[in-house]
């Protein structure tokens, strides 16, 4: 599978590395040329030598998307630090380039929920954290007995 990933922060880079070692072709876009360091951290070879590719650019630039290979992408992952950027780029991938699988990270639960209802595959880490925290807090705990 050929995967294009926009946003090479902690999340994007980790997904990219894991997909590449899982045998997939991976192309990463980030506006910061230094971001490639995250892909190479702990590796003994460069990202390109490992078989990945990296494009410098912002995701609203069609040139950057095209250079990264969006037209032949089987899957598209958007994980920059801007919710609105992510939502716009994801829709460009879906509507303009008709990428079969588009997954987008949205930190704000409200926007994530509404756009999911509109047919985008949104992942909301905040919502996940809320649920995990609630679950962890309530797990096996009752009201504390008063100490005499």
Partner 1 sequence: MYVLIVGAGKVGWNLARELIERGHEVTLVESNRGRYATVEEELGHCVQAGDGSELWVLERAGIERADMVIAATGDDEDNILISQVGREKYGVERIIARCNNPRNFQHFELLGVKPVVSATDLILRLIEHEVPKYGPLHLLDLHQERLEIIELDVDEGSSAAGSRVEDVGLPDGALVISILRGGAGFVPTGESVIEGGDEVLLVLDPGLEDSVTGFFTSAAGTRAA
Min dist. Cβ of residue 45 to partner 1 (A): 35
**Count of residues near partner 1 by CB under 8 A:** 18
Tokens 């209802």 belong to: 117
Can you name the residues that pair with 28 across neighbouring β-strands? 5, 54
Minimum CB distance to partner 1 smaller for 31 or for 108: 108
Q: Does 53 bind partner 1 (CB under 8 A)?
A: no
Those residues with Cβ within 8 angstroms of residue 131's Cβ, 6 or more apart along the chain or in another chain: none
Tell me the closest approach of the beta carbon of residue 134 to partner 1, in angstroms: 21
- Tokens at 60, concatenated: 């609203």
- Considering only the stretches 23-31, 45-53, 79-87, 127-135, report the one whose residues sit in contact with partner 1 under the rule CB under 8 A: 79-87
Which x/- pattern over 87-126 shows residues binding partner 1 (rule: CB under 8 A)? xx--xx--xx-----------x-xx--x---x--------
Give the whole-angstrom CA distance, residue 50 versus residue 10.
Answer: 19
Smallest distance from the beta carbon of 135 to partner 1, in angstroms? Answer: 25
Least separation in angstroms between CB 137 and partner 1: 24
Q: Point out which residues pair with 26 in neighbouring strands.
A: 3
Confirm if 81 and 100 have CB atoms less than 8 A apart: no
Pick the closer one to partner 1 by CB: 61 or 131.
61
Q: Please choose, from the candidates 106, 110, 100, the residue with its C-alpha nearest in 3D space to the C-alpha of residue 72.
A: 100
- Candidates 82, 113, 79, 112; CA nearest to 93 is 79
Residues near partner 1 (CB under 8 A) = 60-62, 82-85, 87-88, 91-92, 95-96, 108, 110-111, 114, 118
């Amino acid at each position: 599978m050929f995967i294009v990933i926009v946003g090479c922060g902690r999340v994007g880079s980790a997904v990219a590395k894991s997909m590449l070692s899982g045998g997939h072709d991976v192309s990463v876009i980030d506006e910061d040329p230094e971001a490639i360091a995250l892909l190479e951290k702990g590796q003994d070879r460069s990202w390109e030598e490992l078989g990945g590719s990296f494009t410098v650019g912002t995701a609203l630039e069609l040139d950057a998307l095209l250079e990264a290979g969006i037209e032949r992408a089987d899957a598209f992952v958007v994980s920059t630090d801007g919710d609105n950027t992510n939502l716009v780029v994801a829709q460009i991938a879906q509507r303009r380039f008709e990428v079969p699988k588009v997954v987008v990270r949205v930190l704000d639960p409200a926007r994530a929920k509404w756009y999911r209802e509109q047919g985008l595959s949104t992942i909301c880490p905040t919502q996940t954290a809320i649920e995990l925290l609630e679950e962890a807090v309530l797990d096996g705990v009752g009201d504390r007995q008063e100490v005499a």
